[in-house]
Structure 1
Amino acid sequence: MPAVMTLKNVVIGAMFGLAATGYGINMAHASVTTSPENHLLSTLKYVELEAEQGDKNMQLFLGRAYLEGTNGLRADPLKGMYWLKKAATDMPEVKTMIGDLFKNGRGLPRDNKQAVDWYTQAAAEGSVPAMIELGHFYASGAGTGKTDCANAIKWFKDAANAGSVDSKRNLVWLYATCSDEELRDGERALKMAKQIIHRVGANDAGDFDNLAAAYAACGEFTDAVKAQEMALSKLPKEENQRFNKFSQRLNLYKNNKTIYSASL
């Protein structure tokens, strides 16, 4: 079996590079002269047999190869999904990958509902990237045109609890600007915004933009103006779009107005 195992390693290596080691593949003995494109079709029955017997790497390889029409295989989305679904069993990272494929329309039709379904499965199994994707999906109102603060907060909170600082930043914005008064919580937003700045340092323009929104949500407009001016001072000059947004917010705070838009 040594030659067969070498081919197996090379086939996976060609698809995933050294990142394949994350799935338990040892690339140390893979031949660099063997061309998988020249061998896959002749060994396809072996590869599919290994996949059917539960080899996750082979399932994942075949799924991507059929979706993308690579390594000598004709693109076949049905076969691609067949193998990816098998690979996804008990593998939240693969479920997240399938969600990405549906979200971006890569090898599969762009489909927000399918993407959310797969992200939700992955997030339930502990995938932090999937939690973050769900948070952005609900915060942006993708597919519905309306922000869903409750679900956005839920998933960003789960991701933040798992260590995602950016998700905690998103929570600050949501608590400070959500149009749903039952979910809007300026005091919580302000506490979290100060914690983030204390933790990561006072160098990020976005953190002060969040702090200003939190102050405004608490009705503390003088402090909101100061924080927003600090955000503007830290913003790189070439970021014209963000500069305009930050300036518009500053004018709101100067007129004692808050933001009612949870869009990130």
Structure 2
Amino acid sequence: MPAVMTLKKVVFGAMLGLAVTGYGTAQASNTTSPTNHLLSTLNYVELEAEQGDKNMQLFLGRAYLEGTNGLQADPMKGMYWLEKAAVDMPEVKTMIGDLFKAGRLLPKNNDLAVRWYTAAAKEGDVPAMVELGAYYASGATGKVDCGNAIKWFNEAANGGSLDSKRNLVWLYATCADERMRDGERALKLAKQVLKRDGTGDAGDYDNLAAAYAACGEFRRAVEAQEVAMDKLEDTQGQRYAKFEKRLELYRQNQTIFTASL
């Protein structure tokens, strides 16, 4: 069945990148799109997918969700194939979480997004850990959950996420839940971030200032906040106003207690 084998090669090339890097990052080009082949070989493609071909499962899941490659949009069939592909593939679980979070192709549903992110994170997927940390730190549950936010940002930071380490600095320094605040840890992490190449922007020094304040080192907090403000190009925007407000708090020997990231 040469037509099926040709389609399989095309689908494999198109979906391999998707399986590795996440939903929406791999697109079959117009010249290699299997649109003209899929309908005539759909039974064979679905047979390959049922027999465990992950790339075929991913391809069919996406095609049915989007209504592309000659298929009519069918979210139930799309989810059927994506759920099959998600078995033992945490990055696909994260992909499904992204779809529920965005409300694109599937109805927006934060609870289902968190459920899929959690499953992926428990299997070691760093992007899912980042999403969970942001979810709990944003107050999406009705209030900021510093404990769970710190838990997942720590996991993500250990997996190489520098932004998660930045978020940890802020949470340890400013979390309204005093049980979770840890100024010394915040300061240690802030200094680690600043030692990395490509760091040292306004946000990094804003974090450093908050960490110094959490440790009661207000003179250094003022110095770091002034550096942060010098690094901002827009001196009229909301961010500058927030930085300026923090600077005044540090000058009055006051720390920050924030509601969210």
Give the alignment's TM-score, normalised by structure 1. Answer: 0.90
CA contact (8 A) 2:3 2:37 kept: no
Q: Secondary structure at the match of 1:170?
A: helix
Evaluate the alpha carbon distance shift between residue 132 and residue 32 of structure 1 in structure 2; reply closer, same or farther with a 3 A threshold: closer
Evaluate the alpha carbon distance shift between residue 203 and residue 4 of structure 1 in structure 2; reply closer, same or farther with a 3 A threshold: same
Aligned residue for 2:5?
Answer: 5
Q: CA deviation at 1:194?
A: 1.4
Q: Secondary structure at the match of 1:181?
A: coil
Query: Is 2:74 the counterpart of 1:67?
Result: no
In structure 1, runs of 5+ residues without a counterpart are 24-29
Say which of 155, 169, 172 aligns to 2:169: 172
Q: Secondary structure at the match of 1:172?
A: helix
Aligned residue for 1:51?
Answer: 49
Query: Is 2:127 the counterpart of 1:132?
Result: no
Evaluate the alpha carbon distance shift between residue 161 and residue 202 of structure 1 in structure 2; reply closer, same or farther with a 3 A threshold: closer
Aligned residue for 1:112?
Answer: 110
Taking the aligned partners of 1:210 and 1:262, their CA distance within structure 2 comes to 15
Give deviations 1:141-180, integer Å, cap 9, x for gaps: 11x2310000000000001111111111110000000011
Aligned residue for 2:25?
Answer: none
Q: CA deviation at 1:259?
A: 1.1
In structure 2, runs of 5+ residues without a counterpart are 22-27
Taking the aligned partners of 1:262 and 1:179, their CA distance within structure 2 comes to 7
Taking the aligned partners of 1:83 and 1:3, their CA distance within structure 2 comes to 22
Evaluate the alpha carbon distance shift between residue 183 and residue 118 of structure 1 in structure 2; reply closer, same or farther with a 3 A threshold: same
- State the 4+ residue runs in structure 1 displaced beyond 6 angstroms: none
CA contact (8 A) 2:202 2:229 kept: yes
Give the alignment's TM-score, normalised by structure 2. Answer: 0.91
Give deviations 1:106-130, integer Å, cap 9, x for gaps: 1100101000000000001110000
Q: CA deviation at 1:19?
A: 2.5
Evaluate the alpha carbon distance shift between residue 76 and residue 224 of structure 1 in structure 2; reply closer, same or farther with a 3 A threshold: same
Taking the aligned partners of 1:115 and 1:235, their CA distance within structure 2 comes to 35
Say which of 144, 150, 154 aligns to 2:151: 154
Q: CA deviation at 1:201?
A: 6.2
| AA partner of residue 101 (structure 2) | K
Aligned residue for 1:27?
Answer: none
Taking the aligned partners of 1:130 and 1:100, their CA distance within structure 2 comes to 9
Taking the aligned partners of 1:39 and 1:46, their CA distance within structure 2 comes to 11
Query: Is 2:210 the counterpart of 1:209?
Result: no
Q: CA deviation at 1:34?
A: 5.8
Taking the aligned partners of 2:174 and 2:126, their CA distance within structure 1 comes to 24
Aligned residue for 1:229?
Answer: 226
Q: CA deviation at 1:31?
A: 11
| AA partner of residue 111 (structure 1) | N
Q: Secondary structure at the match of 2:181?
A: coil
Taking the aligned partners of 1:140 and 1:33, their CA distance within structure 2 comes to 43
Say which of 69, 86, 91 aligns to 1:88: 86
RMSD: 2.2
Taking the aligned partners of 1:33 and 1:199, their CA distance within structure 2 comes to 43
CA contact (8 A) 2:190 2:207 kept: yes
Q: Secondary structure at the match of 1:146?
A: coil
CA contact (8 A) 1:160 1:168 kept: yes
Give me the identity figure in percent.
74
Evaluate the alpha carbon distance shift between residue 223 and residue 33 of structure 1 in structure 2; reply closer, same or farther with a 3 A threshold: closer
Aligned residue for 2:24?
Answer: none
Give deviations 1:47-81, integer Å, cap 9, x for gaps: 11111000000111111111111111111111111
**Number of residue pairs matched by the alignment:** 255
CA contact (8 A) 1:66 1:80 kept: yes
| AA partner of residue 7 (structure 2) | L
